[in-house]
Amino acid sequence: MIQRTQTLLLLAALALMVLMLILPLVELPGGDQIYCYQMIPILFLCIVVSLALAAAILLYKARMIQIRISVFTSVILIGLQAWIGYYLFFDRMIGARFSFISAFPIIAAILTLLAVRYIGRDEAMVRAVSRLRK
């Protein structure tokens, strides 16, 4: 399970989302910091994505379900990145500085889409081998 490339990619995406929950998202001019858990919609999406990534990692034997969950997770991650981008550009507080943590959803989406590619390769290989056995 862990030795597969797609599992490592999904695990890296899960690690990014957990780090996003822990590290500060915005630094305010007075030295204050805003975390992900202080913005309820972003917190909810981060938790949903983390649970979906964990489910995708654990469903390594059901590759088609793993692909569906991973694509669903990628779509949510792109939406989360768009929401953070909205906060960054349009609803920005004066002097607020977004950290590199705000780019984690797009990195996790890329990692998840790469994992989908590797899962698809595995599924094609299994189907080819089963076709040869008949």
* SS3 per-residue string spanning 79-111: HHHHHHHHHHHCCCCCCCEECHHHHHHHHHHHH
pTM for this prediction: 0.89
Give 7-26 pLDDT, tens digit per residue: 999 999 999 999 999 999 88
Whether the per-residue pLDDT at 1 is higher than 80: the answer is: no
Question: Taking residues 35-46, what's their average pLDDT?
Answer: 88
Other CB atoms closer than 10 Å to residue 71's CB: what's the count? 14
